[in-house]
Structure 1
């Protein structure tokens, strides 16, 4: 299941990033990933949080990058994650947009957005906010990938607070606007054009920016809604975490209850 398992193999690890989708999570990132990987656009593989969360080694690299304050050293770490991918959409890509623009100077920058800041706020609060809370951390603590996932959120928050020191909260419409303006400003510093895109725009602006032909078969733009799946993922993660705690408790109880007797018998 997406976000829980990932068997994708990236054959090449050479730098080949051609598209940087810099919009925040819950800004049609999965739909955009599907479009980028389709036969219409052909930018496969596309990095997405779904290809990070199931892998402790990748999560550790992202954590190391979030903690690294030296840009050159941070980008060395990020090359280990993003090289070999032709595109990126969703976290952790968007939080490193400035680094990615330096690492891949020829990549097209797309700023994928929701129809409004309010719509984004409602969506993010219903889906991803949970993963940075103790309600997630404590039940899932025994699973390394889940522990690391939690800390990715925490250190991500710290990095964003440093980037926007006057920010009153990350789950605010203010943050949504600040991030989008930051992407535009970082692109402007580097003389890069930003393709502003909303899901209602469909294929046309992206195809034009990437010099691709829109689909002639009239197919609609992919529309993946991760909200329902994320709700299921939450239940599975919490469920397996609680089962792990129960198993650990049972093992400790059995050892405490029967262990001394077994030791006396065999000694």
Structure 2
């Protein structure tokens, strides 16, 4: 699928030197594993250049900026103050929409900086979400293999993995199994508190184009709603990233090396 393939391309842009060139119009603040990649592809189809976790895989240096944003939020200091509007514009100025983590972890900051943006909460049953997270993202983010690949490639894979661990350590207070479902509920309630009801769509991607297009004021496309296999896309990207960390080789063989890894997070 061409749109999915575009997720896997890689660039090397230092966004610290960038500024806003697209108006921010849509903030999707639901957590990962709630259909965020399908939402990313849907927003792209509707004409919104969109930021997703895979955008960091596409431009690995972004991970350092997200780490600074997380430190500024949770451990502000003279070295890492909270992000300013100018910094958010530098990091996200090339897109008009965001979805997935790490952007979703900044509901107060992004809705304050972009008060005119429409906000969407992607929904999922909390129990199913817990199971999905445990079997995919949490397992891989904290795996020995991810640690090893981070050691081999600290500037790229390592920076992305450290960023994910920092984000999840704060989100789940260091214990996903004990605190995951509570953190999920608290995140969604926090978004509901900070976003005016008339500017918020609570939506399950399984509902398809109708509610999304009505909320955004866009015509329903003459195409099926994208149903992206997030695990598959992340796994394919992980093979490419791991291959780079290991210095190349046969793709079939490297697939064995990265069993159980679906990217940085």
TM interval, shorter chain, is 0.7 to 0.9
Q: Between Structure 1 and Structure 2, how many residues are aligned?
A: 233
Q: Deviations over 1:138-174 (max 9, x none)?
A: 234221211101110122124325xxx6986477322
| Alignment RMSD | 3.0
Residue 95 of structure 2: which of 60, 66, 85 is its match?
85
Residues 40-51 of structure 1 correspond to what in structure 2 (within 5 A)? 41-43=46-48, 45-51=49-55
Give the structure 2 partner of residue 255 of structure 1: none
Give the structure 2 partner of residue 226 of structure 1: 230
Residues 45-124 of structure 1 correspond to what in structure 2 (within 5 A)? 45-69=49-73, 73-75=82-84, 76-114=86-124, 116-124=125-133
How far apart are residue 122 of structure 1 and its match?
Answer: 2.2
- Supply the distance in 1 between the matched residues of 2:176 and 2:230 (Cα, whole angstroms): 27
Aligned-partner SS, 1:17: coil
Give the structure 1 partner of residue 134 of structure 2: 125
Aligned-partner SS, 1:141: helix
Taking structure 1 as the reference length, the TM-score comes to: 0.75
- Supply the distance in 2 between the matched residues of 1:8 and 1:226 (Cα, whole angstroms): 23
Give the structure 2 partner of residue 151 of structure 1: 162
Residue 14 of structure 1: which of 17, 21, 39 is its match?
21
Give the structure 2 partner of residue 201 of structure 1: 207
- For the 8 Å contact 1:21–1:109, the answer to whether it is kept is yes
Give the structure 2 partner of residue 136 of structure 1: 146
Unaligned runs of 5+ in 2: 249-265
- For the 8 Å contact 1:66–1:159, the answer to whether it is kept is no
Runs (4 or more) in structure 1 with deviation over 6 Å come to: 8-12, 165-168
- For the 8 Å contact 2:24–2:95, the answer to whether it is kept is yes
- Supply the distance in 2 between the matched residues of 1:170 and 1:149 (Cα, whole angstroms): 25
Give the structure 2 partner of residue 214 of structure 1: 220
- Supply the distance in 1 between the matched residues of 2:128 and 2:244 (Cα, whole angstroms): 32
- Supply the distance in 1 between the matched residues of 2:182 and 2:101 (Cα, whole angstroms): 19
Q: Deviations over 1:167-207 (max 9, x none)?
A: 8647732222222112112225xx76320000221111111
Change (3 A) 1:136 1:4: farther
Change (3 A) 1:8 1:111: farther
Larger displacement relative to structure 2 (235-244 or 81-90): 235-244
Larger displacement relative to structure 2 (105-114 or 129-138): 129-138
- Supply the distance in 1 between the matched residues of 2:157 and 2:195 (Cα, whole angstroms): 33
Structure with bigger gyration radius: 1
Taking structure 2 as the reference length, the TM-score comes to: 0.76
How far apart are residue 20 of structure 1 and its match?
Answer: 0.3
- Supply the distance in 1 between the matched residues of 2:199 and 2:20 (Cα, whole angstroms): 26
How far apart are residue 31 of structure 1 and its match?
Answer: 0.7
- For the 8 Å contact 1:136–1:238, the answer to whether it is kept is no
How far apart are residue 23 of structure 1 and its match?
Answer: 0.7
Larger displacement relative to structure 2 (7-16 or 18-27): 7-16
- Supply the distance in 2 between the matched residues of 1:3 and 1:108 (Cα, whole angstroms): 24
